[in-house]
Amino acid sequence: MLELKKISKSYQTGSFVQQALKDVSIEFRNNEFVAILGASGSGKTTLLNIIGGLDRYDSGDLIINNKSTKKFKSIDWDRYRNNCVGFIFQNYNLIPHISILDNVEMGMTLSGVSSKERSKRAKEALKKVGLLEHAHKKPNQLSGGQMQRVAIARALVNNPDIILADEPTGALDTKTSIQIMDLIQEIAKDKLVIMVTHNPELAHEYATRIIEFQDGKKLSDSNPIKKEEQDTSTLKIRKTAMSFATALKLSFNNIKTKKGRTLLTAFASSIGIIGIGLILSLSNGFKIEVDRFERDSLSQAPIIISTQAMNMDEETMEKISTNNHLEKYPTEEKVFVQDDVVQTMLHTNILSDEYLNYIKKMDSKNLAGISYQTTTGFTIINHSSDGYQLVAGSSYWTILPTNPNQNENGIVEDNYDILAGSIDESVPGLILQVDNKNQIYESTLKALGLSGKEVTFHDILNQELKVVFNDDYYIQYGEAFVPSQDLEKLYHSDHSVTLKVQAIIRGKEDKEMLTSGSGIAYTNSLTELVISKNKDSKIVRMQQEKDYNVLTNQPFDNSSMSTNTKDTILGYLGAEVAPSIIYLYPKDFDSKEEITSYLDQYNQGKEEKDTVQYTDMAAMISSLSGNIMDAITVVLVAFSSISLIVSSIMIAIITYISVLERIKEIGILRALGARKKDIKRVFNAETFIIGLCSGLLGILIAYLLTIPVNQIIENLSGLPNVAKLNIIHAIILIIINVILTMIGGAIPAKMASKKDPVEALRTE
Ligand code: ADP
Ligand code: MG
C-alpha cells in the first residue's frame, strides 16, 4: 500500500544546500508499528512529511496503491492527507480558538461529513482517548498529555489507514509518555503507524519494526519486507471541500478571541459608511422636504401664457449654442455672426380665438383659478376730504382670478384669509390685500380716497369709488378726444357706477411664497361692465375706424414693444381686446401635470411659430433646486468614498496581520487535508465578517447620528426630522462595504493559501 523508492530531498537556504534525505527506499506493511530512530537533524521529520503528503520529494517515487505519485496534483495530495493519513505532532498543533470537539471534527468537516455524524464520531474518538467530558473546553485549558490525546483522537476520527506521529511524547513527562504510547499501540492494531522518536527505549518497547536514520540515509531496518510478502490492501481516497459555513465558523471563533481589535477595525472602516450614510440620509431628507415644500407652496403658482414667452427648453438652448462647434481662438481673419440670444429665446404666442376656446374647454376640475389679463382700462374717481381725484393706479391693479368651480375653494380661498367683507365675483368691485403685518402702501390708500396712518377695516369697506365710462369722460375736440376735467360732476353722474372694497384679504401664513405683498385686485365683472358700457361709445367706434391714435391725433407705432398701437389704445378705452396674459392656477401638484400636458397637446403637430409656449415657474425652480442638490450629493459622496477605499486598504493590512497570526492554523488545516481554496475561504470569511460588522456598525452609527443632526437642523431651520436614512440605501451601502472589504482582504487571503504547510507548521 505504501512504498518509498529512492526518495531524495534537499533544502536550499541561500546558496547552501542541505540534503535532508538521500535515496531512501522503504516498503511498509499495511499493519505494523514502525519506529524511526535517529539523531536530531537526520531527516526523520522530512521523511514523515513526505510520506504524509505534506512535503514534496525531489526525486525517487512514493508508491501509493501500487501507483506512482509523480503525477499527483496539489488536490490529490490534499485528498490523500484528508482520507488516508492522521498526523500526530510533538507540539499537538491544535487550533487554539475552537473547542476540543471542533478540533477533532475538523478533518471530517473538511471532507463534508454531516454535522450529526461528525459529532457522533468525534465523541466516540474522544471517549476512546478518555476525554469525552472535556469536549467543550478550549485546548489551552488542557494539560500537555490531554492535548496530545486530543491530537490522537483527531488523527483517528477520520479512520485513516496511516497514522504518522512525529515525536508524540517529546514534550511529555515519562508517566504521561507511557500512557500516550499505550494509546498509540492500541491504535496500531489495525493500522500502519509510523512514529518518529529519539527515545530508543520507547521504540524498542512498543514498535514492531525499527528503522534507524543517520544524515538523511537509512542505516538499518529491523524487519524489512520479505520478497514473498504480498500486499493487497488499498487506500480509499475521497474528495474534500470546506463549506463557506465552516470557514465562517472558524473565522468567527478566531475573531471572537480578538473582540476588541475587531471592533476597533470595524469601527475605523465604518467611518466611510457613516459619512456616506449621513450624506445620503440628509440629501434624501432634504429632497423629501423640498419636494413637500414645493408641492405645498409652489404647486399653485400659476402657469403663465403670455403673448411674449421666454423659451428656455433644451432645444432652444442648443440653438443658441449652435455656433459652439466653431474653433476657439481662430486664426482666420473673419468675424462670425451669432444669432441674437434674446430673439432666439423669445417666442411670440398668438392667443387666437381657437386657442382661447381650447383653454375654455379645459377640464376645470384641475383649476383652482383662472384669470385673463387684458389691457382693458377703466376710469375711476374717488372722493375724499381733498376733493375728487382720478385714480391713476388702475393699471397696477391685478385682476382677481375667477374660481371655475363655484362649489369648491378657489385659488383665493386656498391661499388667503378673508379678514373682512366677502368676495362676490359677480359684482364689480375691489379686493384689498394687506401684507402679513396688515400694511398697505400710502399710494394704495390714497387711490381708495383715504388717508391717515391707521385705517379701520370698517372705513375701507364703506369707502365708495365711481367708475365712469367713455361717453361721459371723453369730450370730442375736432378729430381728437380730451378727458373731461369736471370730476365732481362725473362722480355724481347717474351714468357712473359705485365701486366698493368687497373684502380685505391677507396671505395665509403657510402660503407666504405665493401671497406676500399688498395691493388692490378687482373682480372680472368690473372688466365685463367696462367693456359692455364702452362697446358702443363714440370714441371706441371712431378708434376702430381710424388708423391713427384718436387720443393724441398721432400715427400708430407698430414696433413690437410699443404702447401706441391700435389694440393697446382700444384696450385703454375699455373696448374688448384679446387677453395678453392668461394665468392658470392649478389645484395641486397632480393637477398641474394634467394642465401642462393638456397645453402640450395643443402644440402637437403644429409648426413652431404656431405653438403656444407657457412658463411654469414652479417647475423651473424645482428642477434647479433638484439639480443643485444632486450635484452636492454626488460631490460629498465622492469625498466619503475615499474613506471607503482607505478602509479597504486598512482591511488588507489587518487581514495580512491575521494571516501572519494564523499561519500555524493554516498548517494544521492543510495537514488535515484542507485545499488552498479552503484556506482562502477561511480568510475571505474573516473579511466578510469584518465587512459585515463594519457595514452594520456604520449604518447604525449613521442612523444614531441623524437624531442629533435632525435636532440641530430643527433648531436652525425649524424643519423637523430632515435626515432620513433610506432602507434601500442602507442595504446597498452594507453590500458595497462587504464587497470592498473582501476585495481588500483578497490578496492576503491568496497569500495565505499559498503558504507551504510544512513551513507553516514549523512556525511558533
Ligand atoms: P529531524 O526531524 O530528524 O530532526 P529534519 O527532517 O527536521 O530532521 O531535518 C533534516 C535536515 O534538513 C536538517 O539538517 C534540517 O536543518 C534540514 N531542514 C529541514 N527542513 C528545512 C527547511 N525547510 N529549510 C532548510 N533546511 C531544512
Ligand atoms: Mg524532527
* pLDDT exceeds cutoff 80 at 236: no
Of 745 and 236, more confident: 745
Q: Is the pLDDT of residue 22 over 90?
A: yes
> What's 301's DSSP letter?
S
Q: How many CB atoms lie within 10 A of CB 674?
A: 31
Which pLDDT band holds residue 288 (cuts at 50, 70, 90)?
A: confident
Closest to 502 in 3D by CA, of 523, 484, 488: 523
- CA-angle at 298, arms to 292 and 303, nearest 5°: 140
Give yes or no for residue 393 having a pLDDT over 60.
Answer: no
* Phi, psi of 649, deg, nearest 5: -65, -40
pLDDT tens sequence across 42-92: 999 999 999 999 999 999 999 988 889 999 998 899 989 988 899 999 899
On the question of pLDDT at 517 being above 70, the answer is yes
Q: What is the pLDDT of residue 553?
A: 84
- Residue 73's identity, in one-letter code, is K
Indicate the pLDDT class of residue 414, thresholds 50, 70 and 90: confident
DSSP conformation letters of 245-259 = HHHHHHHHHHHHTTH
State the Cα–Cα distance between residues 633 and 275, nearest whole angstrom. Answer: 12
Separation between Cα atoms, residue 398 and residue 404, nearest integer Å: 18
Quote the pLDDT of residue 314: 67
CB atoms within 10 A of CB 234: 13
| Gap from CA of 200 to ligand 2 centroid (Å) | 15
Q: Which residue, judged by its Cα, is nearest atom 16 of ligand 1?
A: 41
d(CA 526, CA 424): 11
- pLDDT for 316: 67
Q: Measured at the alpha carbon of residue 730, what is the angle toward residues 724 and 732, in degrees to the nearest 5?
A: 140
Which position has the higher pLDDT, 230 or 467?
467
- Chain centroid to CA 473: 71
Per-residue pLDDT tens digits for 538-582: 999 989 888 888 888 888 887 766 778 888 888 888 888 888 899
Where residue 381 falls among pLDDT bands split at 50, 70, 90?
Answer: very high
- Determine the 3-state secondary structure of 601 from DSSP: helix
Radius of gyration of the chain (CA): 49
C-alpha closest to that of 522 among 398, 426, 380: 398
Q: How far apart are CA 382 and CA 387, in angstroms?
A: 8
How far is ligand 1, taken at its centre, from the CA of residue 20, in Å?
Answer: 6
**In angstroms, what is the span from residue 755 Cα to ligand 1's centroid?**
18
Rounded distance from Cα 41 to ligand 2 centre (Å): 7
- Compute, in angstroms, the gap from residue 629 CA to the centroid of ligand 1: 68
Tell me what percent of the residues of the chain surpass a pLDDT of 70. Answer: 95
pLDDT (mean) for 422-447? 93
Q: Please state which of the ranges 291-305, 423-437, 683-697 shows the lowest mean pLDDT.
A: 291-305
What span, in angstroms and rounded, lies between the C-alpha atoms of 22 and 10?
A: 8
Inter-residue contact 680 to 754 (CB < 8 Å): no
Task: Name which of 150-164, 440-454, 604-618 the model is least confident about.
Answer: 604-618
Q: Is 728 exposed, middle or buried (0-12, 13-18, 19+ CB in 10 A)?
A: exposed
Question: Tell me, what's the pLDDT at 323?
Answer: 60
Ligand 1 pocket at CB < 6 A: 11, 13, 18, 20, 38, 40-46
Task: Report whether pLDDT(627) > 70.
Answer: yes
* Atom of ligand 1 at shortest range from CA of 49: 6
Q: How far apart are CA 502 and CA 401, in angstroms?
A: 15
Of 753, 575, 545, 764, which is closest to residue 655 (Cα–Cα)?
753
Task: Give the CATH H-level superfamily of domain 2-240.
Answer: P-loop containing nucleotide triphosphate hydrolases (3.40.50.300)
pTM of the model as a whole: 0.64
Q: What pLDDT is stored for residue 394 in this prediction?
A: 62
Give the pLDDT band (50/70/90) at residue 714.
confident
Mutate to test the pocket of ligand 1, among 18, 19, 22, 195 (most ligand atoms within 8 A of CB): 18
CB of 501 closer than 8 Å to CB of 440:
no
Task: Please tell me which of 167-176, 255-264, 450-459 the model is most confident about, judged by mean pLDDT.
Answer: 450-459
| Per-chain residues with Cβ under 5 A from ion ligand 2 | 45
CA dihedral 46, 49, 54, 55 (to 10 degrees): 30
Out of 10, 19, 45, give the residue to mutate to test ligand 1, the one with the largest number of ligand atoms within 8 Å of its CB.
45
- Which grid cell is 197? 522518536
**Over the stretch 325-361, which tens digit does the pLDDT of each residue have?**
778 888 888 888 776 766 667 788 888 889 999 999 9
d(CA 246, CA 255): 14
Number of H helices, E strands in the chain: 27, 28
Q: How confident is the model at residue 512 (pLDDT cuts 50, 70, 90)?
A: confident
Ligand 2: distance of its center to the CA of 90 in Å?
9
Region(s) of the chain under CATH 3.40.50.300: 2-240
Q: How far apart are alpha carbons 290 and 298 in whole angstroms?
A: 10
At 232 the pLDDT is 67
Q: Which of 722, 734, 727, 741 is nearest to 286 (CA)?
A: 722
Q: Give residue 724's pLDDT.
A: 86
449: confidence class by pLDDT, cuts 50, 70, 90: very high
Interhelix angle 259-293/727-753, rounded to 10 degrees, is 150
Query: Which atom in ligand 1 lies closest to the alpha carbon of residue 38?
Result: 3
Report which bound ligand comes closest to the CA of 50: 1
**Residue of the CA atom closest to atom 17 of ligand 1:** 20
User: CA 44 → CA 106, 180, 213, 220, distances in Å?
Assistant: 26, 20, 7, 14
Span from the CA of 147 to the centroid of ligand 2 (angstroms): 19
